[in-house]
Structure 1
Amino acid sequence: MNPSFLAEKALSWQELRPELQLTELPHSRLDFFALQKRASAAIEQFLQNPHRHLFVLKGDEQGEYANLLEDFVTSRQQPDEQLHGVQYHVEQGDSFSFPRIFTEAAQHKEDNFVAKKRVASALHVDQFQLLGSVRLHPSSQEIQLNPGLVHQLNGGVLILAVGSLISQFDLWLRLKQLLLTQRFDWYSAHPFKDLPCDIPSYPLSLKVILLGNREELATLDELDADLYDLADYSEIESYYGIESAEQGLKWAQYVQSIANDHQLPQLTLDGLNKLYQLLVRESEDRAFVSISPLKLKTILAGCAILNQKETDSLLSAVDLEQFFQHKEMQQGFLKEHTYSDILHEQVYVATEGEIVGQINGLSVIEYPGTPMAFGEPSRISCIVQFGDGEVVDVERKSELAGNIHGKSIMIAEACLAHTLGFPSQLPFSASLVFEQSYGEIDGDSASLASFCVLASALADCPLPQSIAITGAIDQFGLVHSVGGVNAKIEGFFSICASRGLTGQQGVMLPSTVIHQLSLSEDVVNAVKTGQFFIYPVDDVYQACHILFQRDLVEEEGKAYNETNQPLSRLITQRIEQRAEQQLYKTSFWDWVLRKK
């Protein structure tokens, strides 16, 4: 392979990590809902609309968001001195009369069913906490009425978790009736017992905000088809776009506000930039970073504890990098053992030399029950026999691969047939295998690698084992985006670095994933010194040009000789030679049989 040729096709080290466009530390405060334009506008409109009483809000971290939402709603409410609710009077019965309960308009804040709050949240409620209770003394038979959250928040806003209502669906039906009628009716808590006496209902004005993740909201929507006829909807966004310097400044203000609110050290300029880079790894998009208060609080608190930082000190890029490395070490047991198997050749992955019909694909490994996912190279091999045109995906055939993987292999086969201009089915049979793969695999990120290894086996041209590949292709040969590129690159780099970098190793990936890149210091430094390379490609033509240092198909106006023939010509020649040999064998045996 020609090192200078490959270096020209690679990304520079400056392109491997994003930089936050920030020139000075922010000093003004910015709260969470200042970054939630859609949700905050929708909530404000809901609060002002007297005809809407239910709001559904998608949010994943309900424990964190409930308190923030409570503060936000409180800040948007107008002062209200009006008394909401009633006073229930209970005339206890005796041996000669039944008990009697009646109401009168509330006169004092101390009345038993007067609203005590304007806003409150509850992530788990039962029937009695939410709707109150009717208690009957076991010996005296005296009746006691106890208010629930709906009574305490009459005229106000109640924030509830959807999960609690799904598990108690009857509770949701009662709440829904209350919101539709804006009136509270008493019912017996026991399905086979009546109330001890008639208890009058009364008007109850309430707004409810339901907070839940997408799966919970989908379940509630399935259980109640009329949900969104009754409810307004919006989402708490977990990521904030920072495509401009102004947005970057707002995000930095928010991070510093989180640190200040929780009495944690604030960040330096390079600390903010490093935090941004670490969060891009999680979001896989340079234009979006997490604004999860729980995630940011966890990172800042972890950095402060690990580096023994006081509240009045600052967290630098070094502190954040140490926290990241420490977290990797804590969670890296399975990753280390996986890489150890490769380094001890219990799992064979070549990182040097050239081999026909063999290539290193890249995948992301996720073990159930562990929070850490990591990249791992996988050896993909292909054997070709001239036959009836079937390409056997061994993983799919043995039921070790999912539907998306099976689809991607068929796309790779169709792309090759289209590129080479075969008139009908391929005039060969082939088998594609993920070697030493014993678990289920899925996804289409190996389709580019499958295309290249199939082309290698057909053309009898070797592939460099020093370059690992990830990317999805379509039938026309365009290379499309895949996920987990940072983990995939670092996984292959780790194996190469442990064996010793040769200056020829690297990773090929789609050009469309460059905005996902936020690589570790080790990878960036290796690229900077010319020991490792990242090759972006747009289509299979560019991929083959880099891997084989040949054109995939003949280009008009270009001269070819024995050393630089395009792959399509080599494949055609092999097919023709095989056809002639097959014809000769058939003619020979026909002649032998006629002689007999």
Structure 2
Amino acid sequence: EKEKKKKDLFLPYKVNVIVDNKTTKGRPIIIEHNPSYVNLFGTIERTFEDRFTSKSDFMQIRAGSLHKANGGYLVVNFNDLIQEPNVWHSLKRALRNEKLYIFPEDNYFFAPPSPLRPEPIDLKVKVILIGDIATYQLAYYLDEDFKKIFKVLSEFDSSMDCTKENFISFVQLMGKIIDEENLKNFTAEAVLKVAEYAMKLAGRKGKLSTRFDAVADIMREAHYWAKEEKKELVDEKNVVKAIRERERRHSLADDKIKEMILQNILNIETEGKRVGQVNGLTVYDFGYYSFGKPVKITANVSLGQDSIISIEREADLAGNIFTKGSLIIAGFLRQTFTKDKPLSINASICFEQSYGEIEGDSATCAEFYALLSAISSVPARQDVAVTGSMNQKGLVQAVGGINEKIEGFFNLVKEKGIKGTEGVIIPKANLGDLILKEDVLKEMKEGRFHIWAIEDVTEGVEILFGIPAGKRKSDGKFTKGSLFEKVDNALQENSKIWKKYK
């Protein structure tokens, strides 16, 4: 006890260095992984003499990340920061006033507040918040101070151009992962296969995904399979196996839907012809895994007056973009066929055995072809699936998930047994997005599976119906024997009958 009191005599002469930058080169850069109030702003610790009495002195002042980053940069996760009590408003106040205060942590309810109040410190720091764009937009519109304090937005793209420089950087990143995690070296073919996987994640040729965590996971798993096979290097087969094993672990929903189709629980026909029935393509996206599957789209037509009904829309199972697609179909029909007569039909379009909400316009072309088939009574091929958006002028527009859609239909016809006539109609604008699996490419090279790329909806008519779409001649009639002639004749007949009942 005497020794303790003797030491306390020197307390007024001590120095509490709360921040030491003698080993720091350049401006300090602090990354705070746990942005609690104490970790950011510091605190004044307490010494308890008994159960109800505590004391503090200047030697118990502790710095926070803001003190350590003063004069430099502080990096913090925005979502983590705003979840901590009293941190967000205190940070804004400190940055706005350029003053940093240290207060004791007041979570000792039975102890009196500390009388120690250090003078504020001038604060010159750049705070970098890392987060998603949704959180940024929410803070920007709801918090008036946010846009005044955090004025610079820097967005990171989920993909980058596959230029020579970027590809070299991508390979260097692979090398860094190999060195840091002590993985086996990759052969040149294995590196290219990983790059191909990154392209597929990006969803477009000529792009590399910046989801480097997913790339690193595939590299680790490929290393594991090379190690299991006692190989010195990771080769292309190991990367392919890693990708397939990952897909297998995540493909439960994909397998269940395929099983229901093969057992005819979900009725999808892949051979023959049917009137008013076309195979569309949909994508199921779970975030961690996405896959494509065909869906039966049917259309029925009766006598009526300019009414095209989407059953999904009427049942509140359709989003706004899907509804827009249905209205575009009606606009094209009026533009093409009703210059000399009204559109005297009542039509209904349905995605059969679909019980969840549908969004997007990628099935617009398939709906359009099903409707043409129903009006003209010309059957459509069932061994061909269709994906593509269209505008009111009939131009076919690009869609998302093109690789998943093609592979989804291919996998189904492969399970049923490929006849050699099957294929998919896609927008020509999507050709640059094709990064298909080896088994699909193999069947295409052998002429047993086909991809038709179209720019206009009329180009898909001959593929799907076996007759040309036709053009309107100078006399107002369509080309003889064409699908549009048959549609026009049917609408003309409906118009005559409808006049009798008006």
Alpha-carbon deviation of 1:355?
0.8
Look up the match of 1:316: 235
Distance 1:291 1:582 in 2: 59
Q: Is the alpha carbon distance of 1:542 and 1:263 closer, same or farther for their aligned partners in structure 2, counting shifts above 3 Å? A: same
Map 1:9-28 onto structure 2 (within 5 A): none
Correspondence 1:141 to 2:54:
yes
1:335–1:374 CA contact under 8 A, matched in 2: yes
Look up the match of 1:427: 344
Distance 2:424 2:318 in 1: 24
SS in 2 for 1:159: strand
Correspondence 1:498 to 2:408:
no
Look up the match of 1:132: 42
Look up the match of 1:272: 191
1:258–1:293 CA contact under 8 A, matched in 2: no
1:280–1:516 CA contact under 8 A, matched in 2: no
Look up the match of 2:17: 111
CA deviations on 1:219-245 (whole Å, 9 max, x unpaired) are 332343343433333233432211x44
Look up the match of 1:236: 156
Structure 2 runs not aligned, ≥5 long: 1-10
CA deviations on 1:479-529 (whole Å, 9 max, x unpaired) are 111111111111111111111111110001101111111111111111111
Correspondence 1:479 to 2:399:
no
Letter in 2 for 1:465: Q
1:265–1:300 CA contact under 8 A, matched in 2: no
SS in 2 for 1:361: strand
Letter in 1 for 2:100: F
Correspondence 1:170 to 2:80:
no
Distance 1:582 1:390 in 2: 13
Q: Is the alpha carbon distance of 1:112 and 1:402 closer, same or farther for their aligned partners in structure 2, counting shifts above 3 Å? A: closer
2:304–2:498 CA contact under 8 A, matched in 1: no
Distance 1:405 1:272 in 2: 40
Q: Which moved more, 1:154-163 or 1:371-380?
A: 154-163
Correspondence 1:151 to 2:67:
yes
Alpha-carbon deviation of 1:187?
4.3
Distance 2:441 2:185 in 1: 27
1:115–1:154 CA contact under 8 A, matched in 2: no
Q: Is the alpha carbon distance of 1:310 and 1:351 closer, same or farther for their aligned partners in structure 2, counting shifts above 3 Å? A: closer
2:45–2:104 CA contact under 8 A, matched in 1: no
Correspondence 1:398 to 2:311:
no
- The percent of aligned pairs where both chains have the same amino acid is 27
Q: Is the alpha carbon distance of 1:293 and 1:382 closer, same or farther for their aligned partners in structure 2, counting shifts above 3 Å? A: closer
Map 1:16-95 onto structure 2 (within 5 A): none
Correspondence 1:551 to 2:471:
no
Letter in 2 for 1:433: C
Q: Is the alpha carbon distance of 1:169 and 1:481 closer, same or farther for their aligned partners in structure 2, counting shifts above 3 Å? A: farther
Look up the match of 2:437: 520
Alpha-carbon deviation of 1:325?
1.4
Distance 1:486 1:502 in 2: 21
Alpha-carbon deviation of 1:312?
9.3
Q: Is the alpha carbon distance of 1:247 and 1:206 closer, same or farther for their aligned partners in structure 2, counting shifts above 3 Å? A: closer
Distance 1:330 1:402 in 2: 31
Pairwise CA RMSD: 3.0
Residue 488 of structure 2, aligned match among 561, 566, 572 = 572
Alpha-carbon deviation of 1:175?
2.0
Residue 77 of structure 2, aligned match among 154, 161, 167 = 161
CA deviations on 1:158-193 (whole Å, 9 max, x unpaired) are 211111222237312322333334332234654998
Distance 2:19 2:223 in 1: 48
Alpha-carbon deviation of 1:252?
2.7
2:427–2:454 CA contact under 8 A, matched in 1: yes
Q: Is the alpha carbon distance of 1:557 and 1:257 closer, same or farther for their aligned partners in structure 2, counting shifts above 3 Å? A: farther
Alpha-carbon deviation of 1:421?
4.1
Q: Is the alpha carbon distance of 1:124 and 1:425 closer, same or farther for their aligned partners in structure 2, counting shifts above 3 Å? A: farther
1:258–1:296 CA contact under 8 A, matched in 2: no
1:416–1:451 CA contact under 8 A, matched in 2: no
2:341–2:492 CA contact under 8 A, matched in 1: no
Structure 1 runs not aligned, ≥5 long: 1-100, 588-596
Distance 1:150 1:561 in 2: 76
Distance 1:221 1:311 in 2: 54
CA deviations on 1:446-499 (whole Å, 9 max, x unpaired) are 101111111111111110001000111111111111111111111111111111
Alpha-carbon deviation of 1:394?
0.6
Distance 2:207 2:478 in 1: 49
Look up the match of 2:4: none
1:265–1:311 CA contact under 8 A, matched in 2: no
Q: Is the alpha carbon distance of 1:217 and 1:266 closer, same or farther for their aligned partners in structure 2, counting shifts above 3 Å? A: farther
SS in 1 for 2:393: coil
Distance 1:218 1:497 in 2: 46
CA deviations on 1:383-414 (whole Å, 9 max, x unpaired) are 11021111111111111111211111111121
Alpha-carbon deviation of 1:340?
0.8
Residue 347 of structure 1, aligned match among 258, 266, 278 = 266
Q: Is the alpha carbon distance of 1:515 and 1:160 closer, same or farther for their aligned partners in structure 2, counting shifts above 3 Å? A: same
Correspondence 1:327 to 2:240:
no
Alpha-carbon deviation of 1:344?
0.9
Letter in 2 for 1:458: I
1:481–1:510 CA contact under 8 A, matched in 2: yes
Map 1:164-563 onto structure 2 (within 5 A): 164-168=80-84, 170-187=86-103, 189-190=105-106, 195-231=114-150, 232-242=152-162, 244-308=163-227, 313-366=232-285, 371-422=288-339, 426-554=343-471
Correspondence 1:123 to 2:33:
yes
Normalized against structure 1, the TM-score is what? 0.74
Alpha-carbon deviation of 1:134?
2.3
Q: Which moved more, 1:155-164 or 1:379-388?
A: 155-164
Q: Is the alpha carbon distance of 1:574 and 1:524 closer, same or farther for their aligned partners in structure 2, counting shifts above 3 Å? A: same
1:375–1:487 CA contact under 8 A, matched in 2: yes
Q: Which moved more, 1:114-123 or 1:191-200?
A: 191-200
Distance 1:246 1:146 in 2: 46
Distance 1:393 1:542 in 2: 25
2:30–2:68 CA contact under 8 A, matched in 1: no
Normalized against structure 2, the TM-score is what? 0.87
SS in 2 for 1:509: strand
Look up the match of 1:40: none
Distance 2:42 2:172 in 1: 43
Distance 2:332 2:496 in 1: 26
Look up the match of 2:3: none
SS in 2 for 1:442: coil
Q: Is the alpha carbon distance of 1:580 and 1:475 closer, same or farther for their aligned partners in structure 2, counting shifts above 3 Å? A: closer
Alpha-carbon deviation of 1:296?
2.2
Alpha-carbon deviation of 1:577?
3.1
1:114–1:154 CA contact under 8 A, matched in 2: no
With CA pairs under 8 Å and 6+ residues apart, which has the higher RCO, 1 or 2? 1
Q: Is the alpha carbon distance of 1:270 and 1:127 closer, same or farther for their aligned partners in structure 2, counting shifts above 3 Å? A: same
